[in-house]
Amino acid sequence: MAKYHLHLAHLYGDLLNTYGDIGNIIALKYYAKQMDTDIQVDVVSIEDDFDPDQFDIAFFGGGQDYEQMVVSKDIQTKKDGIKKFIEDGKPMLAICGGYQLLGKYYVGADGEKIPGIGVLDHYTLTQSEHRSAQQNQSRFIGDVEIQNEDTGAKFHGFENHNGRTFLGENERPLGHVLAGHGNNGEDGTEGAIYLHTYCSYFHGPILTRNGELAKQMLLEALSIKYPDADLTPQEGLIVQPTF
């Protein structure tokens, strides 16, 4: 029997699982086992309540336009719970569509402005509004490499997105782009960090290729749930400042 136990919320895991991003949960379970920890995973989906006190860690993936539209309406009912979860400093990973929906809004491929829940300050435009500068490119697709400005750690992944995301107040990038396009192809940023919430356009999935981030999230979750436990920091983890 494992020494520690974590409860993970997979937000809309039955609808948003593009590019096999459920692999992030598999990676978390893999590293958790090495840390004598088991993880219970529950999908929180349409019409489900989200109790932030019930969960220790969360994952929010991306999906196709139709599924994201459905989620964008339902998630408004979970806004307060998600905001509390984030502000309590519990770790969350949001990828692609999940990343966009945590922000103020995103503009879909057809030009419709779709509201997010605004618990983070970024917003997302569409590339169709900016094609002249991108040589008629309609998506950012390909391998991407970034470097975290605090530790120098490098992250590798694959991006495939139409959105151009711009960070807001109290957000900093997961990393600065060394290769690829990143958040918007303009300012050299990729992803976002706010408290212990990590956002990215990295598929791959990100945690299977960048295990240090998975271990970082697990240690953050364990330190909150087990404040008296001896959780020795592991090499290569992001040093997370307090905003």
Given this model, what pLDDT does residue 241 score? 39
> Is the per-residue pLDDT at 136 higher than 90?
no
Domain boundaries of the chain, sorted by first residue: 2-234
Architecture of domain 2-234: 3-Layer(aba) Sandwich (3.40)
> Is the per-residue pLDDT at 90 higher than 50?
yes
How far is it, in rounded angstroms, from Cα 159 to Cα 30? 24
> Is the per-residue pLDDT at 19 higher than 90?
no
Is the preceding peptide bond at 227 cis, omega within 30 degrees of 0? no
Q: Which residues belong to the annotated binding site for substrate?
A: 139
Strand, helix or coil at 165? Answer: strand
Tokens found for residue 118: 């605004």
How far is it, in rounded angstroms, from Cα 112 to Cα 114? 6
Which residues are designated catalytic? 96, 203
How far is it, in rounded angstroms, from Cα 170 to Cα 124? 17
CA distances from 173 to 47, 91, 217 (A): 32, 16, 16
- Total-model pTM: 0.92
Q: Which residues belong to the annotated binding site?
A: 139
| Cβ neighbours around 131 below 10 Å, total | 12
Given this model, what pLDDT does residue 65 score? 82
Q: Are 81 and 52 in contact (CB under 8 A)?
A: yes
